[in-house]
Structure 1
Amino acid sequence: MELRHLKYFLAVAEELNFTKASEKLFISQPPLSRQIAELEEELQAKLFIRNNKKVELTEAGKYFEKEIKTLFQNLELISAKTKKIAENVSGEFRIAYISSIYSAVISDLIKHLKKQFPYVNFKLFEISTAKQITALEQGKIEMGIIRSPVKSPKIKSDLWFKDGFSLVYNKKSVQIKSENDILQLKNETFVFFNKDYAPHYHEVLLELCAFYGFTPKIIHEANNINSIVQLVKNGLGISIVPSNIAKNNHDPEIGFVELKKVNLKTDVSIITSREDDSEITQSAVAFLLPQRP
């Protein structure tokens, strides 16, 4: 059974007249009759009742017509989806981000992209900066959101925003009124990012403590900003986190003090492949850049 058999059948079923159907299909009547006969033989079912006065569908023919119309509708949808996927470069777009980026912004990005590219499957991954750079170089993700710097000739980096730092503490365990009281915390237990997981960020936190005149007593380490904040909430230490986290956390048990005296910030950047000029990537970057937290 070939596609032409089905098209010929639908034409005859619609016209209920072999002459009109053949004219519609731009073929002569004998070949059309032959194709219908071949179809009936293959199905082992009579589809039409033919006599000198009229052509009618049999019960089997009526059922076959209904199913074939549904089949062709599905084929049209498949064709449209295939075309859309081809236009959108691929059927999958992978975005990685660091844990310290406020998730609502990422959620808004996905909603925005889904409206523009409804046939693309968008996937999100929470990955460290170092691993994002490697994944992008290897083509395992299409876009990343990291804390700079980036030292790769294969990657294009767009500054999204500059992020400051804030001390985070459990209000029941620690009493601190302002930035001026930070030195009194030198004997407190600190919770930091793991040095191997985020080496640059780890060094920045040590620089911050040095600026305020002490070396932190790091007892607990974690690979996720939310885990760090949770450890602080549980009274297991204090920490220094990006100010972006402080702006978006309203837990009454946790306090934040922004570190304004030190002129130290981190660049949060959007990274993409230098060879990627796809419409989806351009749309994603264009959406994020005006929305600086």
Structure 2
Amino acid sequence: MELRHIKYFIAVADELNFTKAAGKLCISQPPLSRQIKELENELGVRLFERNNKKVTLTEAGKYFKNEIVSQLQGLESIVLKTRKISENVNGEYSIGYISSTFSVKISELVQFLTEKYPFLKIKLYEVSSAKQILALEQNKLDLGIIRAPLISTKINSKLWFKDSYSLVFNNNLIKNVEGLAEVKDQVFVFFNKDYAPVYYNSLVQICSQYGFIPNIVHESNNINSIIQLVRNGLGVSIVPSSIKNCHRYSELSFLDLGSTLTTDVLITTPKKVESEISDSAISFLLE
């Protein structure tokens, strides 16, 4: 079995059409059919059911596809890790973060790493916590800044800081607010539920502790957009208290909801990957 057999098999399995798969691979259909037949003969199983109307995967074909894709992802991770070891401190370094944690400290981190490793190319990605976790597991990110919870056996983490929550509202439209329950009838602006489901649910839970379910009309996957919507009078929101230092507008007020409601911000790295850069970055952030 050669790598080209796997490549051709995955193309047909994805398209379930030999003509389309051949076009995708930039080869003609007869050689593709021969390669698939060779693979089936070597395995001693039928991977596809074929007739004039359609192509489908057999049960054995479905299993083979799932396992092969998983193995190829593992191989890709090994290749990426090998390149990073080879590049050492002269290649690329990828940092993931969520918009609600971007701060002056992260900008200072980039400056610190640039000065310490002048040949290093740093890439910043604003990515949800869930997608960061997957990227870290596959060695596609070197460092991630996420919100708990973290459930993974392939990632190391350190607590960066505990963040409390604050109600944010337009003080030109809403006056004399002393508690969250006082805005229970207002329109709420939250993070998108599909983008950050755990964080979304935590905000709903906070509201329920104050005796109401929020009327969530607007959603966004970016903290800056949420702040601007509130600033423009389109609703109120609950945000991490740490972000108020980056959003000082005269028409906005932040009401701290207390230290009993907190969210953990974690610094994460792939397990079993030794990195001088990551060690330096983590030390800097924890100073």
From the superposition, tell whether residues 86 and 206 of structure 1 become closer, same or farther in structure 2 (CA, over 3 Å). same
Cα distance between partner residues in 2 of 1:126 and 1:265: 22
Kindly report which structure 2 residues correspond to 1:254-265, keeping only aligned pairs within 5 A, or say none.
Answer: 254-260=252-258, 263-265=260-262
Q: Once the 2 structures are TM-superposed, how far is the Cα of residue 89 of structure 1 from its aligned partner?
A: 4.8
The CA deviation string for residues 109-128 of structure 1, in whole angstroms up to 9 with x for no partner, is 01111111111100101111
- CA deviations over 1:216-265 (Å, ceiling 9, x no partner): 000000001111001000110000000001233211011110001x7121
State the 1:276 CA deviation. 1.6
CA distance in 2, matches of 1:196, 1:176: 33
Q: Distance in 2 between matches of 1:174 and 1:142?
A: 43
Give the count of matched residue pairs.
Answer: 203
CA distance in 1, matches of 2:143, 2:269: 5
DSSP-derived class of the 1:166 partner: strand
Contact 2:96 2:145 in 1 (8 A): yes
Match of 1:3 in 2: none
Q: For residue 210 of structure 1, report the CA deviation from its aligned partner.
A: 0.9
TM-score (norm 2): 0.68
Quick one: which amino acid aligns to residue 267 of structure 1?
D
Aligned to 1:289: 286
| Correspondences of 1:149-164 after superposition (within 5 Å) | 149-164=149-164
Matched AA of 1:151 = I
The whole-number CA distance in structure 2 between the counterparts of 1:107 and 1:246 is 17
Matches within 5 A, 1:238-253: 238-253=236-251
- Unpaired runs of at least 5, structure 1: 1-84
Q: Find the counterpart in structure 1 of residue 57 from structure 2.
A: none
1:79-105 CA distance string (max 9 Å, x none) = xxxxxx957355000001010114311
3-state secondary structure, aligned to 1:164? strand
Matched, 1:175 2:175: yes
Query: What RMSD in Å do the two structures reach over aligned CA positions?
Result: 1.5
State the partner residue of 1:271: 268
**Greater shift in the superposed pair: 267-276 or 87-96:** 87-96
Distance 2:181 2:87 in 1: 58
Partners of 1:218 and 1:157 in 2: how far apart? Answer: 32
| 1:228 counterpart residue number | 226
Give the counterpart of 1:217 among 211, 215, 218. 215
Q: 2:143 — aligned with what?
A: 143
Residue type matched to 2:265 in 1? V
Q: 1:189 & 1:87 partners in 2: Cα distance? A: 50
Deviations 1:29-49 (A, max 9, x none): xxxxxxxxxxxxxxxxxxxxx
Alignment of 1:23-172 (within 5 A): 86=86, 88-89=88-89, 91-172=91-172
C-alpha distance after superposition, 1:104-163 (max 9, x if no partner): 111100111111111110010111100100111112111100001111100001000000
Displacement, 1:171?
Answer: 1.1
Contact 1:102 1:244 in 2 (8 A): no
> Structure 1 stretches (4+) deviating beyond 4 angstroms?
none
Q: In the aligned structure 1, how far is the partner of 2:177 from the partner of 2:214?
A: 19
CA contact (8 A) 2:195 2:221 kept: yes
Asked if 1 retains the 8 angstrom alpha-carbon contact of 2:99 and 2:224, the reply is yes
Whole-angstrom distance in 2 between the partners of 1:255 and 1:131: 32
- Structure 1 contact 88–117 (Cα < 8 Å) conserved: no
Q: Is the 8 A contact 1:169 1:255 kept in 2?
A: yes
Report the Cα distance in structure 2 between the residues aligned to 1:140 and 1:238, rounded to whole angstroms: 36
User: Are the counterparts in 2 of residues 88 and 120 from structure 1 also a CA contact under 8 Å?
Assistant: no
Contact 2:189-2:229 at 8 Å conserved across structures: yes
- Residue 49 of structure 1 is matched in structure 2 by none
TM normalised by structure 1 equals 0.67
In structure 2, runs of 5+ residues without a counterpart are 1-84
Matched to 1:173, the amino acid is L
CA contact (8 A) 1:157 1:270 kept: yes
Contact 2:103 2:246 in 1 (8 A): no
**How far apart, in 2, do the equivalents of 1:104 and 1:146 lie?**
16
Distance 1:125 1:102 in 2: 11
